[in-house]
Amino acid sequence: MNPNFTDSLIKWTLAVFLVVVFAFLYMPIVHILFASLSTRPNFPYPPEFNVASYIRLSTNTVYQSAFLNSLLLASCTAVLSTVLGFLATVGVLRFAGKRALIYAIFFAAPLFVAEILLGISSMALYYMLFELQGNMLTAIIANAVHCFSFCFLIMAAMLYKYDWRMNEAAIVCGASPLRSFFEVMLPITWPGIMGSLITAFVLSLNGLDVSFYLLGATPTMPSVAWGALRYGVKPELYALSSLINIVVFAMIIALLVAIRLKRKAA
Amino acid sequence: MQDANLQRRLILDIPTGFLLLFFVMPLAALVTLSFWQTENYKIVHEWTLMNYGTLATERAYITFFLRSLVMAIGVSVTLVALSWPIAYFIVRYGGRYRIIFSLLLVIPFLSGEVLRLIALQGMLGPAGLVNGALIRMGAAPLRMIMYSNAASFIAFIYLYLPLVVTTIYLSLINFDFRLAHAASACGANRFRIFTEVVWPLNLSGTIVGFMLAFIPTLSASLVPRFLGGPNGTLYGMSMAQQFGESGTWALGAAMGVVLFLFSAIALAILSYGVDLRRTGFTGLGRQ
Amino acid sequence: MSNTSSYIRIDKVSRRYGAFKALDDVSLDISKEEFIAILGPSGSGKSTLLRLIAGLDRPTEGRIHFEGKDVTELAPHKRGIGMVFQEFLLFPHRTVRENLAFPLRMRNEAKAEIEERVEWVAGILSLSTMLDRYPSQLSGGQQQRVALGRGLVARPTLLLLDEPLANLDRELRQEMEIEIRRYQKQLGIPFIYVTHNQEEALSMSDRIAVINNGRLEALGERQAIYDHPQTPFVARFVGKSSKFQGVVQPDGATVRLARHDYEFALPPDKKFNPGDAVEIFVKNERFDISSKQDGGVGIPSTVVDVVLRGPFLEYVLETDRGDTVIAVKPKRNDPIPIRERVLLSWNPADCHIFKDGADDARR
Ligand SMILES: Nc1ncnc2c1ncn2[C@@H]1O[C@H](COP(=O)(O)OP(=O)(O)OP(=O)(O)O)[C@@H](O)[C@H]1O
Ligand SMILES: [Mg+2]
């Protein structure tokens, strides 16, 4: 067979496959977007545009406090795990020497421990040691453990290509170490740091397992959604899910555009 | 000199200490708890192997575990098989749209398990899109995809596909395709290029992807509870119940320890079977 | 050089990594307006020395003084130096103008002053037309000039250059060698120039410090280093030369080569005991080649190849014992033909003779 023909056959077969996969991934999301906007949520075709379920969602006080709790939890977790992940990345790439691999494996280990185990074991620890029922702080910490590995890997991928002597170049130009970080390192590596913040934020915003065991009665978005789910899916849940998807989508687009703009400027 | 060393130490010690305190310690606590007892929702500090005994003898737990294991292996193998062509296509033919393609894959992953399950329920449930459409067309609803292990299977694929594709994508994107061209120049055909060069050099990335699907599937509690139906109880769900309804914490802790050990063994077996150097792994240093 | 006149003083400085001494008891005084080259093979500790002077690293022993002030413990960004790196290390997210302005901004100069200085440095480095480009839009040579400009713009007390030309091609390198030396004379501050390339060191510097295995092997005017090497290492490393083994004859006044049938008189300033084994270094351009028929003395050899190197001819000779020797001669219209039998000899005053094993004895 003509190799060019075989090549394009492979290419187009793969392309069709990709389209099917995207459809599989996005159909449910689009479907519930329609469902959330429809008066007939079970089979919302033809689509309507009815925001009743969004209004009910926004006036529901349980969802409101859950939203605030989740926001607090996710922001703190994102910052905490990114800072720790940054230290870990710098440590492994610069200072670990021969032990770099060992440290890297240790820092990536939480990735290979199920989230539910993290939740359960943290609960066990706090309960055994302090008779604590779990609170926001412990939930943030346990979430940060889970997100830490993601942050570490994301930033390591970015900083791996960074030439550390760039900092030295700034320092011999008269910049203090702190200034060299803000003026040189941060502007060059911010996509990795931003990516780490976003990933940790989104993961902890949506994670149920850890919060479920460590937050007790404090409602968060996933736990309220889960609670509601047990009594049948309601259109409000569709609205909530769609909202989160839209926000995540917007955040990613914003990051992409920002990178584009920066690159265009360069 | 002194403060430079101190700074170095702190940079590595802070994250290490954090993980020791909040990752290793809890796991140690879990192990300890698994050797104690729970009676009437109270922990009894008496050392015993009874929890493990229960796990090893009670039929239900063995069934749950085996069912989870089969499910996890099936899901992960399917995911790797699905993800390879996708990642390969994006890396080879994605051109400047690579980033867009890969982000489009990640975005659904970011909205979290609960909400994604809700979306999936909208598709698969008795009143969901698929069955709704079938009924509207006058056909019988598909029972298979409602509250069954098949439904769980589809859900796992749906949940973890982005994660596995991304992992394999990251491995492939760092792979130097000139090596494939070199192999081609040496006379290898497409199939041989793949089996002799592309696959082995991306094996470590593939294993990571496999594990990232295997572990949450093995320990899943939400999916079986929500989609699995009466015969779909999986190990993780049963474990969660020990900490919830039944209040048998110690038994749950033992289940957790077994789960952890099993994931660790699976990871060890997979990475032991692979000679890292033959997968092109060069350590962490810059070359 | 007396203590008072030295501008930069490096006093018995060592840098250990565990048991390994990357730099071993190095002392160096550098005067204002001096161009000094630090020359040594790869891994000899040149960059280590430069990083100690810059303050990017601290010595484990010894002190460093700038203008009589002890700066050993001073943070690098307070030392008021300029530095140029082999990889240039321009800030990729900043334009050329911003790169050049960076050291001035760090010193909190006024805006007008910054502009003026940037224009000035761009003027002398002919960068004025590309001030608004990003480093990725420049050629290697242009990037190199920006790196140089960034080192010079803030009137540093001295400029450190770590193999700044190593990444450039040969032609550009020779052009930049001349320019860099010109800037140094123009600015009147010391340049400390690290290189492993002896030609670069010889063509640019006033003085050369040769480093080997972390130790200072030689320090002196470039001509003296070239013409009168004091150690076998320097003789081998500076200039291109060939080495022979020999033995001092019982009369104590002649040397006989070990592998060749050739004897020559010891220069009067060299004192050896009869029977001493010696190493003889001869610079490639100091060989005499005479035709076999002329009946002189020398190492009998055959011309294997003749290579044209600009105004010079490089004869590749094979001695009858099978050693390859290269001899460089000014270009002639009638070069010695290939396969010609010749005799290879030298003027005893032009070779460098050391007792065998002198290098090891020093260690
Ligand atoms: N951080 C370090 N830890 C251990 N050894 C080091 C370290 N930095 C440098 N060395 C060692 O010190 C010696 C001198 O290194 P240095 O970088 O100064 O060499 P150099 O003369 O600049 O070589 P090159 O011409 O290759 O740049 C080398 O043997 C190197 O391996
Ligand atoms: Mg060097």
Question: How buried is residue A160: exposed, middle or buried, by Cβ count under 10 Å (0-12/13-18/19+)?
Answer: middle
3-state secondary structure of C10: strand
In terms of domains, do A99 and A188 share one? yes
In the predicted structure, residue B275 carries a pLDDT above the cut 60: no
pLDDT at B208: 86
Q: What is the 3-state secondary structure (H, E, C) of C245-261?
A: EEEECCCCCEEEECCCC
**Rounded to whole angstroms, how far apart are CA atoms A77 and B190?**
46
Chain A neighbors of B161, CB-CB under 8 A:
21, 24-25
In terms of domains, do C153 and C211 share one? yes
Query: Who's near B24: CB < 8 A, 6+ residues apart?
Result: none
Residue C46 CA to ligand 1 centre (angstroms): 8
Domain count, chain C: 2
**Structural domains in chain B?**
51-278 (1.10.3720.10)
Q: Could you tell me if the CB of C42 is within 6 A of ligand 1?
A: yes
Residue of A3 and C12 predicted with greater confidence:
C12
Residue A222's pLDDT band (boundaries 50, 70, 90)? confident
pLDDT at B7: 76
Residue C17 CA to ligand 1 centre (angstroms): 10
Overall average pLDDT of the C6-26 stretch: 91
Residue C53's pLDDT band (boundaries 50, 70, 90)? very high
Chain C neighbors of A262, CB-CB under 8 A:
93
pLDDT digits (tens, 9 = 90+) for B210-244: 988 999 999 898 888 888 888 888 898 899 888 87
Q: Residue A84 and residue B103: Cβ atoms within 8 Å?
A: no
Residue of C60 and C253 predicted with greater confidence:
C60
Whether A38 and chain B come into contact, CB under 8 Å, resolves to no
- Nearest CA to CA, how far is C200 from chain B (Å)? 28
In the predicted structure, residue B283 carries a pLDDT above the cut 50: no
Residue of B68, B89, B115 best to disrupt the A interface, most CBs of A under 10 A: B115
Overall average pLDDT of the B119-131 stretch: 78
Sheet of strand C61-66, all strands in order from the earlier edge strand to the far edge: C20-30, C8-17, C61-66, C69-70
In terms of domains, do C154 and C252 share one? no
Q: For position C194, which CATH number holds?
A: 3.40.50.300
Residue C21 CA to ligand 1 centre (angstroms): 10
pLDDT digits (tens, 9 = 90+) for A13-70: 999 999 999 998 888 888 888 888 888 777 777 788 888 888 888 888 888 888 899 9
Q: Could you tell me if the CB of C87 is within 6 A of ligand 1?
A: no
**Rounded to whole angstroms, how far apart are CA atoms B104 and A24?**
12
pLDDT at C1: 42
Q: Are C173 and C200 in contact (CB under 8 A)?
A: yes
Tell me which residue of C162, C153, C143, C145 sits closest to C189, measured CA to CA. C153
pLDDT at B285: 36
Domain count, chain A: 2
**Rounded to whole angstroms, how far apart are CA atoms C75 and C58?**
10
Q: Which domain holds residue C258?
A: 240-362
Q: For position C351, which CATH number holds?
A: 2.40.50.140
Residue of A45 and A226 predicted with greater confidence:
A226
Q: For position A107, which CATH number holds?
A: 1.10.3720.10
Tell me which residue of C101, C168, C153 sits closest to C131, measured CA to CA. C101
In the predicted structure, residue B2 carries a pLDDT above the cut 60: no
Q: Mean pLDDT, chain A, as a whole number?
A: 86
In the predicted structure, residue C340 carries a pLDDT above the cut 80: yes
DSSP state of B32: H
Kindly state the tokens that stand for C255: 């040397």
Q: Could you tell me if the CB of C22 is within 6 A of ligand 1?
A: yes
Question: How buried is residue C172: exposed, middle or buried, by Cβ count under 10 Å (0-12/13-18/19+)?
Answer: middle
In terms of domains, do C94 and C63 share one? yes
pLDDT at B277: 54
pLDDT at C358: 65
Q: Is residue A56 part of a domain?
A: no
In the predicted structure, residue C357 carries a pLDDT above the cut 80: no
In terms of domains, do A113 and A202 share one? yes
In terms of domains, do A27 and A70 share one? no
**Rounded to whole angstroms, how far apart are CA atoms B201 and C343?**
59
Q: Which of C14, C20, C23, C198 to mutate to test the pocket of ligand 1 (most atoms within 8 A of CB)?
A: C20
Residue C296's pLDDT band (boundaries 50, 70, 90)? confident
Overall average pLDDT of the C283-307 stretch: 86
Query: Who's near C231: CB < 8 A, 6+ residues apart?
Result: C217, C218, C354, C358, C359, C362
In terms of domains, do C358 and C221 share one? no
DSSP per residue over A63-100, as a string?
A: HHHHHHHHHHHHHHHHHHHHHHHHHHHHIIIII-GGGH
| Nearest CA owner, ligand 1 atom 16 | C45
* C291, β-bridge pairs: C342
Give the number of whichever ligand sits closest to the CA of residue C214: 1
**Rounded to whole angstroms, how far apart are CA atoms A119 and A123?**
6
pLDDT at A89: 92
DSSP state of A40: -
Angle, vertex CA C208, rays to CA C204 and CA C213, nearest 5 = 130
pLDDT at B214: 92
Ligand 1 atom at minimum distance from C18 CA = 4
Q: Is residue A190 part of a domain?
A: yes
3-state secondary structure of C212: strand
Q: Residue C83 and residue A188: Cβ atoms within 8 Å?
A: no
Kindly state the tokens that stand for B14: 């802070």
DSSP per residue over B44-72, as a string?
A: E----SHHHHHHHH-HHHHHHHHHHHHHH
In terms of domains, do A189 and A128 share one? yes
In the predicted structure, residue B1 carries a pLDDT above the cut 50: no
pLDDT digits (tens, 9 = 90+) for C329-339: 998 888 888 88
In terms of domains, do C282 and C353 share one? yes
E strand or H helix at C207: strand C207-212
In terms of domains, do A144 and A253 share one? yes
Tell me which residue of A118, A127, A135, A123 sits closest to A72, measured CA to CA. A135
In terms of domains, do C230 and C328 share one? no
Last residue of a domain, one of C235, C263, C288: C235
Last residue of a domain, one of C184, C210, C235: C235
User: What amino acid occupies position C350?
Assistant: D
In terms of domains, do A148 and A82 share one? yes
pLDDT digits (tens, 9 = 90+) for A101-152: 889 889 989 988 888 888 888 888 887 777 777 788 889 999 999 999 999 9
In terms of domains, do C23 and C57 share one? yes
Tell me which residue of B81, B26, B238 sits closest to A113, measured CA to CA. B26
**Rounded to whole angstroms, how far apart are CA atoms C84 and C354?**
38
**Rounded to whole angstroms, how far apart are CA atoms C31 and A102?**
49
In terms of domains, do C156 and C280 share one? no
Percent helix, strand, coil in chain A (nearest 5)? 80, 0, 20
User: Terminus-to-terminus CA distance in chain C, angstroms?
Assistant: 26
In the predicted structure, residue C342 carries a pLDDT above the cut 80: yes
Residue C85 CA to ligand 2 centre (angstroms): 9
Query: Who's near C325: CB < 8 A, 6+ residues apart?
Result: C242, C287, C299, C301, C317, C318, C319, C344
pLDDT at C49: 94
Question: How buried is residue C249: exposed, middle or buried, by Cβ count under 10 Å (0-12/13-18/19+)?
Answer: middle
pLDDT digits (tens, 9 = 90+) for C59-94: 999 999 999 899 999 999 999 899 999 888 999 889
Task: Give the B-side interface with C, CB within 8 Å.
Answer: 1, 4
pLDDT at B281: 47
Kindly state the tokens that stand for C241: 């030369």
pLDDT at C51: 93
pLDDT at C25: 92
Whether A265 and chain B come into contact, CB under 8 Å, resolves to no
Residue of A79 and B185 predicted with greater confidence:
A79
**Rounded to whole angstroms, how far apart are CA atoms B171 and B204?**
8
pLDDT at C3: 46
Q: Are B124 and B133 in contact (CB under 8 A)?
A: no
In terms of domains, do C333 and C354 share one? yes
Q: Is residue A55 part of a domain?
A: no
Q: Could you tell me if the CB of C196 is within 6 A of ligand 1?
A: yes
Q: Is residue C266 part of a domain?
A: yes
pLDDT digits (tens, 9 = 90+) for C144-188: 889 999 998 988 989 999 998 888 888 888 888 888 999 899 888
In terms of domains, do A25 and A152 share one? no
- How many of the other CB atoms lie within 10 Å of CB of A16? 11
> Which among A26, A91, A256 has CB closest to B108?
A26
- How many of the other CB atoms lie within 10 Å of CB of C65? 17
Please report the ipTM that was assigned to this predicted complex. 0.84
Overall average pLDDT of the B99-112 stretch: 81
Q: Is residue C137 part of a domain?
A: yes
DSSP state of B195: I
pLDDT at B186: 83
Q: Which domain holds residue A135?
A: 61-265
E strand or H helix at C353: strand C352-355
Q: Which of C44, C51, C86, C163 to mutate to test the pocket of ligand 1 (most atoms within 8 A of CB)?
A: C44
Last residue of a domain, one of C217, C235, C253: C235
* Phi, psi values for residue B253, rounded to 5°: -60, -40
In the predicted structure, residue B158 carries a pLDDT above the cut 70: yes
In terms of domains, do A160 and A211 share one? yes
* Phi, psi values for residue C61, rounded to 5°: -140, 160
In terms of domains, do A29 and A126 share one? no
Kindly state the tokens that stand for C14: 């060592």
In terms of domains, do C60 and C158 share one? yes
| Nearest CA owner, ligand 1 atom 30 | C43
- How many of the other CB atoms lie within 10 Å of CB of C357? 12
Chain C neighbors of B4, CB-CB under 8 A:
58
* Phi, psi values for residue C50, rounded to 5°: -65, -40
3-state secondary structure of A266: coil
What is the pairing mode between strands C20-30 and C341-346? unpaired
DSSP per residue over A123-149, as a string?
A: HHHHHHHH-----HHHHHHHHHHHHHH
E strand or H helix at C263: strand C263-265
Exposure string of C253-283, with b = 16+ CB inside 10 Å and e = fewer, is ebbebeebebebebeeebebeeebebbbbbb
DSSP state of B20: I
Q: Residue C81 and residue A169: Cβ atoms within 8 Å?
A: no
DSSP per residue over A177-198, as a string?
A: HHHHIIIIIHHHHHHHHHHHHH
Q: Is residue C1 part of a domain?
A: no
Q: Could you tell me if the CB of C48 is within 6 A of ligand 1?
A: yes
In terms of domains, do C317 and C203 share one? no
Ligand 1 atom at minimum distance from C196 CA = 25
In terms of domains, do A39 and A96 share one? no
Q: Mean pLDDT, chain C, as a whole number?
A: 88
Residue B3's pLDDT band (boundaries 50, 70, 90)? low
Residue B287's pLDDT band (boundaries 50, 70, 90)? very low
pLDDT digits (tens, 9 = 90+) for B22-60: 999 999 989 988 998 887 777 778 888 888 988 888 888
pLDDT at B273: 65
Q: Mean pLDDT, chain B, as a whole number?
A: 83
Overall average pLDDT of the C200-216 stretch: 92
- How large is the C-alpha radius of gyration of chain B? 23
In terms of domains, do A29 and A82 share one? no
Q: Is residue C275 part of a domain?
A: yes
Residue C173 CA to ligand 2 centre (angstroms): 18
Chain A neighbors of B85, CB-CB under 8 A:
14, 17-18
In terms of domains, do A44 and A76 share one? no
Residue B266's pLDDT band (boundaries 50, 70, 90)? confident
Whether A84 and chain C come into contact, CB under 8 Å, resolves to no
In terms of domains, do C352 and C327 share one? yes
Taking each helix axis as running N to C, give the angle between helix A3-36 and helix B98-109, from 0 to 180 degrees, rounded to the nearest 10.
40
Kindly state the tokens that stand for C326: 């290269």
pLDDT at C266: 87
